Amino acid sequence: MGDQPLIDVDWILTNLGDPIGTSLLEHIKLSFLPILFGLLLALPLGVLSARWKPLYPPVLAGVNILYAIPSIALFFLVLPYTSFSMWTAVIPLTLYTLAILVPNVVDGLGQVPDHVRQAATAMGFGPMRRLLQVDLPVAVPFVIAGLRIASVATISMVSVASLVGLGGLGQLILTEGFRNYKFLTPILVGIVLSVALAFLVDGLLVLLQRWLTPWTRDDSRKAARAAAPAPEGDPA
């Protein structure tokens, strides 16, 4: 432990394909699916909560309680139902993203100023058309701000899945690095790759937002700021 080199380049080179490459691919799969499913669930939940106000407090309380359950516990609790499959990680991680995404969708839908909403109604927009053509487009910067936080959180949280033996970069950290040799190199490789993946996805989402919402280009700071102080981070 004491006199090992911080980074063992030979180990990295010999293990580049397996386990480093395979762990990374697994990590991408295990984080991408929860973000996707989370968005698909959060949109209808958010739309319903924004439209039917009494629904929002219980929905918010529900997703916040889910958020407070330790991820490691949730992995174990769904294990009897999913057996050892990627769903054991995907289902809990999906539920965690809801605590970030649902409030952002609701806030985003609330961004349309009252006078704009009235103008839409006065021009003959029905509720559905208004949702699709006015409310949702205006909400996009907020939804993407939520996606950025949720994806960074999810990518760093996937590592916990390895404690249950579900793979991903956490497996590299835990099995290769810790349990086998107390060997720093795999742990550091796992951390660096995980952080790099998080930053890459974050950057891609920023580009996506620029492309989807050209009207915010010179005040994207405002939209980003408005969404920034939302609850953030990863329950483990």
Partner 1 sequence: MITFERVSKRFPDGTVAVASLDLEIPTGRTTVFVGPSGCGKTTSLRMINRMVDPTDGVISIDGADVRGKDPAELRRTIGYVIQQAGLFPHRTIIDNIATVPFLLGWSKAKAHARARELMELVGLLPEQARRYPHQLSGGQQQRVGVARALAADPPVLLMDEPFSAVDPVVRASLQEELLRLQAELHKTIVFVTHDIEEAVKLGDSVAVFRPGGHLAQVDHPERLLAVPADDFVEGFIGYDRGVRRLSFFRADALPLRSDIVLGEEDTVARARETVRAHGEPWVLVVHADRTPKGWLGEPALTAAEPDALLGSLATDPYGHVFRVAEDSLRSALDASVLSPAGRAVGVDAQGQVVGVVAQSELGSAIWSVGGEESDPAERGAVGSDG
Partner 2 sequence: MSPFEQVLNWFLDPANWAGTGGIPIRFLEHIQYSALALLIAAVIAIPVGLLTGHTGRGGFAAVSVANFARALPTIGVLFVVVVLAGINLIPVMVALVALAIPPILVNTHEGVRGVDPLLKDAAVGMGMRGPEVLRRLELPVAMPLILLGLRTAAIQVISTATIAAYVGVGGLGRFLVDGQSQGRGNFAMIAGGSVLVVVLAILVTVLFAAVRRFALAPGLRR
By the rule CB under 8 A, 191 interacts with partner 2: yes
Question: Which of partner 1, partner 2, none does 54 bind, CB closer than 5 to 8 A by kind?
Answer: none
Return the number of other C-beta atoms located less than 10 Å from residue 218's C-beta: 8
By the rule CB under 8 A, 65 interacts with partner 2: yes
By the rule CB under 8 A, 134 interacts with partner 1: yes
What's the min distance (Å) between Cβ of 82 and partner 2?
Answer: 13
Binding mask 96-135 for partner 2 (x = CB under 8 A): ----------------------------------------
Tracing tokens 């439209």 back to the chain, one arrives at 51
By the rule CB under 8 A, 208 interacts with partner 1: no
Residue 126, by phi and psi: left (phi above 0), alpha (psi -120 to 50) or beta?
beta
Give the residue from 209, 222, 167, 218 showing the smallest Cα distance to 190. Answer: 167
By the rule CB under 8 A, 110 interacts with partner 1: no
What's the min distance (Å) between Cβ of 218 and partner 1?
Answer: 7
What's the min distance (Å) between Cβ of 52 and partner 1?
Answer: 19
By the rule CB under 8 A, 199 interacts with partner 1: no
Question: Which of partner 1, partner 2, none does 84 bind, CB closer than 5 to 8 A by kind?
Answer: none
Q: Calculate the alpha carbon distances from 89 to 93, 100, 102, 167 in Å.
A: 6, 18, 20, 9
Give the residue from 192, 181, 206, 235 showing the smallest Cα distance to 24. Answer: 192
Could you tell me which stretch among 48-56, 91-99, 101-109, 131-139 binds partner 1 (CB under 8 A)? 131-139
Could you tell me which stretch among 109-117, 143-151, 157-165, 170-178 binds partner 1 (CB under 8 A)? 109-117
Amino acid at 158: V
> How many residues make contact with partner 1 (CB under 8 A)?
21
What's the min distance (Å) between Cβ of 116 and partner 1?
Answer: 5
Distance CA 161, CA 172 (A): 12
Distance CA 185, CA 12 (A): 8
Question: Which of partner 1, partner 2, none does 74 bind, CB closer than 5 to 8 A by kind?
Answer: partner 2
CA angle 41, 47, 48 (to 5 degrees): 90
Backbone angles phi, psi at 114, to 5 degrees: -55, -40
